[in-house]
Amino acid sequence: AQSVTQPDIHITVSEGASLELRCNYSYGATPYLFWYVQSPGQGLQLLLKYFSGDTLVQGIKGFEAEFKRSQSSFNLRKPSVHWSDAAEYFCAVGAKGSGGGADGLTFGKGTHLIIQP
Amino acid sequence: EAQVTQNPRYLITVTGKKLTVTCSQNMNHEYMSWYRQDPGLGLRQIYYSMNVEVTDKGDVPEGYKVSRKEKRNFPLILESPSPNQTSLYFCASSLSRAGLANTSPLHFGNGTRLTVT
């Protein structure tokens, strides 16, 4: 079964500093990988996704992520964070269900990003 | 505007009193899904639906029911709510399976915060 680990529950970054959020996955085949952001009181919004091809993917809001198969990682990065980036971030891996369990996305437990002025 | 609409946003109820959380999407999506979000556990899938009249269990289906009589609607039913179902619930939809097609991301509603006393 697939799984996703986000090792950091909370991360605090100063405004203007760079950011890296870690994500490790376990999946038997080539994974579909996603990063979602959840702002307070909102649903989840897709930041970026990896399906195949170039291992460095660009997303919205200036985010990027790099797929590293050898490390089973898909870390999210941003060169310079803004106060509006404060949110909960979820990494997810795609699964192909067979009707006997969860179908679609398996989510990590999330990383709460705090931006210091 | 393309959106997934959940109602109500907030609901407080008592143990055993049947309730329904509605979910509607206006994007003609085939795939719909319900998740619950709990602190430290991330999002877990409750039920999903591949199309009208096709539903299946996710990771945590106990205590919940769903129906998919129309393409646009996917209500979540709690026949006899219990306090352990206090949670934040999200409905999501996509054109194809769980946002796993490159051109069909998963769209989330803004959530329903349920408290069962």
Note the pLDDT tens digit of each residue in B37-81.
998 888 999 999 988 999 999 889 999 999 999 999 999 999 999
A46 vs B: CB within 8 A:
yes
Do A27 and A37 form a contact (C-beta atoms < 8 A)?
no
Instruction: Considering only the beta carbons, identify the residue of A95, A105, A109 that sits closest to B40.
Output: A109
Closest CA to B65 of B83, B40, B47: B47
Residue B88 clears pLDDT 90, i.e. is over it: yes
Residue B101 clears pLDDT 70, i.e. is over it: no
- Give per-residue pLDDT as tens, A72-115: 999 999 999 999 999 999 999 886 543 334 567 888 999 999 99
Does A51 sit within 8 Å of B108, measured CB to CB? no
Do B106 and A104 form a contact (C-beta atoms < 8 A)?
yes
The residues, any chain, with a CB within 8 Å of residue A113's CB and separated by 6 or more, are A10, A11, A12, A13, A19, A21, A81, A85, A86, A87, A88, A89
